[in-house]
Structure 1
């Protein structure tokens, strides 16, 4: 089929994705676009369809439940917009967001829809969380999120405890983690204007009973937690929370603030409780940073350290070995027989 064929077919979907289109046709078109994201050719095709992306953005925050859900799910597919060589697809989605409404940027609309309870009473829009997380891999999106006059990060923080959806919760945590790559903002993020650390630590905390001395080292929100306090149930989200804190320790002032707020105490208990090998390993690495010696002069900012190529290769090899060990441990856990009740006969 000529190349123009599939492009023309995709363009034919546009009228049916418009906000004024008939509901059943709108839903069918959204489902068709979602199906296209399941294959590499389909993702490549959609990446070049700026008008189609704009329509998806509009539909993602529209009141029609099924089309809105499918549009948001299509936008969130990471392989669709964020493959290693896919700056053009992300740029196309950014352009679609920017063009979505003349009065305010599409990102503002997305954040407002994500952070406003009941924004769309007929569709929960949980998948907007991963959409924002995907977009936050772009510097332009992080600049918007970290604009101190907009207070976007502060609006996202409560969603780290959003109980109704791990999809929305995970998307927000992924967004915050990506923001932590911007080390120039660490002092602000950790300071009183944002105070991000308690929001990252609280989902990792359990019902442990610390000593009075230890309790005083913790932020107020982490003191005297109830006996039924539950940790974040999703292992991937726990790992992203740890990664966000690790990024905040990239600079000397950041490491001091994280240490001073008693993060080690929460991580120590998490490490004892954690059963997922890769999450446990991430926790170990963060603990090593917090209890280890400070880097030598000139290497205080770990995100700016120039690593020699031979050392980088060794580190990559070590990371690969760590991943293989984690995969092996996980496989062993899956294959291990379930413990039988005392006195039960083997089957």
Structure 2
């Protein structure tokens, strides 16, 4: 691919190209985006990204699908974001169209694109168009399972999570008069998709950075069966950890018997990353209160030498987790060879 100038591909992706050649070229480009080097090279060509965006409107479903799949991969490369942002109004209109057949592909593309802050803000701005209905329309689509009979739209969860990194999005989500949090909470137990479930938990966790939050958000349901996905269990623990950043927050979390729940979780938990998050939260709950002036843990200034030490400890912990996971993988492989 490095020897073949990418501009030569543009000729095959233009609307005037023979359908069979255009179809083969689109499929070829889609394959290239599966490789990191291919993605980087293609992402550096805005005209090629724009051509792929145009092909998502092609009358051939196969060609449009290949174009979407290529763009989903290219959206992981920041270099492609400038050209992709140009297509935001059309992409959002398709996402919120309950009859659009490729809404899942659009949703996944926007989820990848919105991971980067500048693109997330551009998506937020595009969403404010009156014809689209803003974030309320996105939340309605997420909370209506059969919003689009042709698409599950599970990736609306990660998309909402990405948007909730913006203060203005959190302001909407935490508006008491809208009751958005109450609508999202049931999806923390959504069994049909860990992607949707993880997205809503990530959204709630991001909302916890607003430590002037409503009481509803401070009590995620603890009943029913445990969350089966370890990554989501860890995010839930991180959300509660954020709630303990202030003295009133720590008091309320303690009063709700959180320690007893965490104690039982710790006995049951096998994932080392979740165990570490659980232990950190327990330490906050059973530890002494910080001295006067340091009650809000999110606003405490950490000395540089202490921050370096904490970062070093985090790296050591991450290394230990990786060794543990590698050990488990090797043990699993050995067991598979036994007769």
Provide TM-score, normalisation by structure 1. 0.78
Who is 1:151 aligned against?
179
Who is 1:81 aligned against?
114
* CA deviation vs aligned residue, 1:137-166 (integer Å, no higher than 9, x gap): 122221221122222112111110111111
Decide whether the 8 Å contact of 2:294 with 2:300 is kept in 1: yes
Q: 1:26 to 1:262 in 2, by over 3 A?
A: same
SS in 2 for 1:183: coil
Q: 1:47 to 1:265 in 2, by over 3 A?
A: farther
1:270-289 paired onto structure 2 within 5 Å = 270-289=265-284
* CA deviation vs aligned residue, 1:49-100 (integer Å, no higher than 9, x gap): 43312222222233456521111111112xx433xxx43222211122223x
Task: Quote the Cα distance in structure 2 between the aligned partners of 1:249 and 1:81.
Answer: 28
Is 1:164 aligned to residue 192 of structure 2? Answer: yes
Who is 1:34 aligned against?
72
Q: 1:97 to 1:292 in 2, by over 3 A?
A: same
**Structure 1 regions of 5+ residues with no counterpart?**
203-221, 223-228, 341-345
Decide whether the 8 Å contact of 2:50 with 2:83 is kept in 1: no
SS in 2 for 1:184: coil
Structure with greater contact order relative to length (CA < 8 Å, sep ≥ 6): 1
Name the count of aligned residue pairs: 297
Task: Quote the Cα distance in structure 2 between the aligned partners of 1:286 and 1:303.
Answer: 15
Task: Quote the Cα distance in structure 2 between the aligned partners of 1:337 and 1:112.
Answer: 43
- The alpha-carbon deviation at position 13 of structure 1 amounts to 4.6
Q: 1:128 to 1:198 in 2, by over 3 A?
A: closer
Provide TM-score, normalisation by structure 2. 0.79
1:110-129 paired onto structure 2 within 5 Å = 110-129=138-157
Q: 1:65 to 1:124 in 2, by over 3 A?
A: farther
Task: Quote the Cα distance in structure 1 between the aligned partners of 2:97 and 2:70.
Answer: 18
SS in 1 for 2:205: helix
**Structure 2 regions of 5+ residues with no counterpart?**
11-44
Who is 2:219 aligned against?
197
Is 1:58 aligned to residue 80 of structure 2? Answer: no
1:1-347 paired onto structure 2 within 5 Å = 6-14=45-53, 17=56, 22=59, 24=61, 26-38=64-76, 40=77, 43-63=78-98, 67-77=102-112, 80-82=113-115, 86-99=116-129, 101-102=130-131, 104-105=133-134, 107-185=135-213, 188=214, 191=215, 194=216, 196-199=218-221, 202=222, 222=223, 230-336=225-331, 347=339
Decide whether the 8 Å contact of 1:251 with 1:302 is kept in 2: yes
* CA deviation vs aligned residue, 1:37-58 (integer Å, no higher than 9, x gap): 25x2xx4223444331222222
Q: 1:236 to 1:65 in 2, by over 3 A?
A: farther
Cα RMSD of the aligned pairs, angstroms, is 2.6
